[in-house]
Structure 1
Amino acid sequence: VRKMLRGILELHPAQEKRAKPLQLAALEQTIAHLERERELARQQARFADLLRHTRDKALLLIGFWRGFRSDELARLDIERIEAVAGEGMRIHLPRTKTDRSLKGSTYKTPALSRLCPVAAYLDWLAVSGLSSGPVLRGIDRWGRISEEAVNAASIIPLLRRILKSAGIDDAHLYSSHSLRRGFASWASANGWEMRALMEYVGWKNIHSAARYVESQDPYHRAMLERLLPQQTAALGTPDQAEP
């Protein structure tokens, strides 16, 4: 069977599809849109919309700054999160994709002066009134919050709807991995060493990390231009050159 599968891959090689990374500018645009919609919903007493926009803001900021996948976002639990306004938050996940020992992992996230995931999380708890159970939940048209966590598979269409409503181009090209790739690319472009980035996100090997980092120079043009000589030496003497 292994030989047959290998033969199929050789005859029909498939190019790996990667989610479009969410750039910081697009994140800022989307958060600004959600904040405007939140304030409008508050003024017009549309509680369901206020809840939805507040939840979506928390989803985006936690997902981006922690580089979480959709399954990790769906498993966020209030009892396993410690958050202090202006300082940071600790998020414990009882299991992760790379956790072979099933001991769980704890992720630390700092409070930021803007686009703050800690403030967005605490705001969501305050508006929703939640004190236990799943963090991210479904909300119906009447503003009733589900007792269950959102399904991991529903986060991708939810993310695309949020981005499309904020006017982000090609929203259909984004997925939950876009948050992870966006953060990794932003951190790498701003001087994070790969080892520090791997430790922060939770990657176990360099190959996994490299798949998520979107280079600022995807064709390595700048590096190759530096290596090129300033002027290519002519092949032969001038009198030997063809007219």
Structure 2
Amino acid sequence: MTELDLYLAASTRDNTRQSYQAALRHFEVEWGGLLPASSDSVAHYLAQYGATLSISTLRQRLAALAAWHQEHGFGDPTRNPIVRKVLRGVQAIHPAEQKRAAPLQIEQLAQVDSRLTYLIECTRAAGDRAAALRHLRDRALFLLGFWRGFRSDELSRLRVEHIRVVQGEGMECYLPRTKTDRYLKGQTFRVPQLSRMCPVSAYLDWVQAADLQDGPVFRRVDRWGNLGDDPLNVDSLLPLLRRVLATSEIDAAELYSTHSLRRGFASWAAANGWDLKTLMEHVGWKSAQSALRYIELADPFNQQRIEKSLKDR
């Protein structure tokens, strides 16, 4: 890889690049399309999979095709009106409600924290270093993911050398790249020290027990208690999360995803009087629309509000 290739690769987030590569393989290999593509072929591709792929997946496939053509100096066929019309037609004929992960409630977070704390004590007493390390890691991951509202890829990219603990106040987590950081300036997230379910103490317990001086924060722990050098793969976080929830006796663990921590915090903050601007700044959202999609209202049917009005009459 040349220096030019290295810098070009670094300009795109790893998971975005991987998803785009998968989308291009689907277009070329599975469907038999050719690159560069014509707007007519892209329209036929959408029509072929309009009944089987979700609208969000089709949009992602179009984004991948657009990026390939732009990078290689070709005109973007996805901007043609016929492509946009076909996409709207697919959405009209195959409407589908957007699936959202169940938000992790504060009571459930407390249940997970209590269970993992108990397991840490038991495995330490039994001399099972590997199991104790895994429980310490998972506790830090849950508490940091919830209170900071991190995305799964942000959790996997946290590095010890980019975290600074301020005793008695909290810690600062620097990420050189985030999803909304278009200009790659990096962003620092502040995490508060709390009196209970504290993400800072959970982080310190984990890195001290694992003797981490630098490198990825969250890593694989093998059966002998050895730590991997690489960060946990983003795809491994979902089964990890659901396994911990099931172990903590949270009902219907399969309904939760890695977005559940982020949605849970946003819903908790909104229910506790956080204004939208403060919530956006804390989590890192750039638009109110993005933030509102994550908030689960405490009274979604407005039943309590209406009943109160009826009683006051």
TM-score (norm 2): 0.72
Deviation per residue, 1:185-209 (Å, 9 max, x gap): 1111011111111111111111111
Question: Following superposition of structure 1 onto structure 2, how do residues 1-243 of structure 1 map, counting pairs within 5 Å?
Answer: 1-227=83-309
Distance, in Å, in 2 between the alignment partners of 1:141 and 1:51 is: 10
SS for the counterpart of 2:104 is coil
SS for the counterpart of 1:180 is helix
> Which protein has the bigger helix share?
2
The letter of the residue matching 2:261 is: L
Deviation per residue, 1:174-224 (Å, 9 max, x gap): 111100010011111011111111111111111111110110000112333
Which stretch shifts more, 76-85 or 27-36? 76-85
The letter of the residue matching 1:192 is: W
SS for the counterpart of 2:293 is helix
Distance, in Å, in 2 between the alignment partners of 1:170 and 1:177 is: 15
Whether contact under 8 Å (1:65, 1:109) holds in the other structure is yes
The letter of the residue matching 2:148 is: R
Residue in structure 2 matched with residue 234 of structure 1 by the alignment: none
SS for the counterpart of 1:89 is strand
Shift of 1:230: 6.4
Distance, in Å, in 1 between the alignment partners of 2:308 and 2:205 is: 49
Distance, in Å, in 2 between the alignment partners of 1:230 and 1:187 is: 28
Shift of 1:130: 0.7
Shift of 1:84: 3.0
Query: Structure 2 stretches of 5 or more lacking a match?
Result: 1-82
The letter of the residue matching 2:215 is: G
Distance, in Å, in 2 between the alignment partners of 1:12 and 1:227 is: 39
Distance, in Å, in 1 between the alignment partners of 2:175 and 2:257 is: 21
Deviation per residue, 1:66-125 (Å, 9 max, x gap): 001111100101111001343210001111111111111111111001100000011111
Q: For residues 130 and 222 of structure 1, do their structure 2 counterparts lie closer, same or farther at Cα, with a shift above 3 Å needed?
A: same
Q: Percent identity?
A: 55
Distance, in Å, in 2 between the alignment partners of 1:229 and 1:171 is: 38
Q: What's the Cα RMSD here?
A: 1.3
Higher RCO (CA < 8 A, seq sep 6+): 1
The letter of the residue matching 1:132 is: D
